[in-house]
Amino acid sequence: MRLGALVLKRKRWEPFAFASPSLALIALVIVFPLGYSFWLSLQDFDLAVGPDYQFVGASNYVEALFKDPRFLGSVWNTALIIGPSLVLELLLGLGLALLLSRVGRGRPIITALLAIPAMVSPVMAAMAWRMMFGVKYGAVNNLGRQLGLIDVYFDWFSSAFISIVAIVLVEVWHNTAFMMLVLLAGLQSIPQELYDAGKADGADGWKSFWYITLPLLKFTMVVGIMIRMIDLTKLFGLIFVLTYGGPGGATETMAFTTYLVGFNDMRMSYAAALSYVIVGGVLVLTLTFMWVQRYREMRAAA
Amino acid sequence: MAITLERARVVAPTARRYRWRRVIGQALTWIALLAALVFFLGPFYWIVTTSLKGNEDYFAFPPVWMPVEPSLTHYVGLFTRSSGARYFTNSMVISTLSMIAALVVSLPTAYAIARWRFGGGFLSVFLLVLRMLPAIALIIPVYLMYKLLGLTNSYLGLVIVYTVVYIPFAVWLLVGFLRDFPVEIEEAALIDGCSRLRALIAVVVPIIAPGLAVVALFSFIATWNEFLFAVVLTGIETKTMMVLVTSFTSGGTDMFYGEASASVVLGVLPAFAVAFMLQRYLVKGLALGGTKG
* Three-state secondary structure of A7-53: HHCCCCCHHHHHHHHHHHHHHHHHHHHHHHHHHHHCEEECCCCCCCE
Query: In this complex, do A124 and B264 lie within 8 Å of one another by their Cβ atoms?
Result: yes
Return the pLDDT at B110.
93
Return the pLDDT at A261.
95
Tell whether A136 is covered by a domain.
yes
A155 interaction partners in chain B (CB closer than 8 Å): 253
Percent of chain A with pLDDT over 70: 96
Minimum Cα–Cα distance from A261: chain B residue: B140
**Which of A16, A177, A290 lies nearest to residue B128, judging by beta carbons?**
A290
Minimum Cα–Cα distance from B260: chain A residue: A127
Tell whether A276 is covered by a domain.
yes
B183 interaction partners in chain A (CB closer than 8 Å): 2-4, 7
Tell whether A45 is covered by a domain.
no
Give the tens place of pLDDT for each residue, B206-256: 888 888 998 999 899 999 999 999 999 998 889 999 999 888 876 555 556
Interatomic CA distance for residues A155 and A165, integer angstroms: 12
The Cα of B6 is separated from the nearest Cα of chain A by a number of Å equal to 23
* Stretch among A112-121, A149-158, B27-36 having the lowest mean pLDDT: A149-158
Global confidence as pTM: 0.89
Q: Residue A248 pLDDT more than 80?
A: yes
Residue type, A21: P
Give the tens place of pLDDT for each residue, A13-38: 888 889 899 999 999 999 999 999 99
Q: Could you list the residue range(s) of the whole structural domain that residue A72 is in? A: 57-301
Tell whether A258 is covered by a domain.
yes
Give the tens place of pLDDT for each residue, B18-29: 788 888 888 999
Query: In this complex, do A123 and B191 lie within 8 Å of one another by their Cβ atoms?
Result: no
B32 interaction partners in chain A (CB closer than 8 Å): 95, 99
Percent of chain B with pLDDT over 90: 39
Return the pLDDT at A3.
54
**pLDDT mean over B123-148:** 90
Q: Residue B49 pLDDT more than 60?
A: yes
Return the pLDDT at A24.
94
**Which of A29, A139, A255 lies nearest to residue B134, judging by beta carbons?**
A255
Phi and psi angles of residue A148, each rounded to the nearest 5 degrees, phi first: 80, 15
Q: Residue B1 pLDDT more than 50?
A: no
Q: Which residue, among A218, A283, A192, A141, has the nearest Cα to B137 in the 3D structure? A: A283
Mean pLDDT of chain A: 89
Q: Residue A7 pLDDT more than 60?
A: no
Return the pLDDT at B255.
53
Give the tens place of pLDDT for each residue, A143-172: 888 888 887 778 888 899 999 999 999 999
Mean pLDDT of chain B: 84
Q: How confident is the model at residue A122 (pLDDT cuts 50, 70, 90)?
A: very high
Q: How confident is the model at residue A277 (pLDDT cuts 50, 70, 90)?
A: very high
Q: How confident is the model at residue B2 (pLDDT cuts 50, 70, 90)?
A: very low
Question: How many domains does one find in chain A?
Answer: 1
Query: In this complex, do B187 and A258 lie within 8 Å of one another by their Cβ atoms?
Result: no
List b or e across A180-204, with b for residues whose CB sees 16 or more CB atoms inside 10 angstroms. bbbbbbbbeebeeeebeebeeeebe
Return the pLDDT at A10.
61
A272 interaction partners in chain B (CB closer than 8 Å): 140-141
Give the tens place of pLDDT for each residue, B188-198: 888 888 888 88
ipTM: 0.89
Q: How confident is the model at residue B258 (pLDDT cuts 50, 70, 90)?
A: confident
* Stretch among A134-143, A146-155, A256-265, B62-71 having the lowest mean pLDDT: B62-71
The Cα of B45 is separated from the nearest Cα of chain A by a number of Å equal to 10
Domain containing residue A147: CATH number: 1.10.3720.10
Helix (H) or strand (E) holding A165: helix A160-188
Query: In this complex, do A122 and B109 lie within 8 Å of one another by their Cβ atoms?
Result: no
Beta strands in A53-105 (DSSP E): 53-55
**pLDDT mean over B252-276:** 80
The domain ranges of chain B are 2-58, 83-287
DSSP letters of B95-150?
A: HHHHHHHHHHHHHHHHHHHHHH-TTHHHHHHHHHHHHH--HHHHHHHHHHHHHHHT
**Which of A182, A231, A276 lies nearest to residue B283, judging by beta carbons?**
A182
**Superfamily the domain B83-287 falls into:** MetI-like (1.10.3720.10)
Return the pLDDT at B13.
59
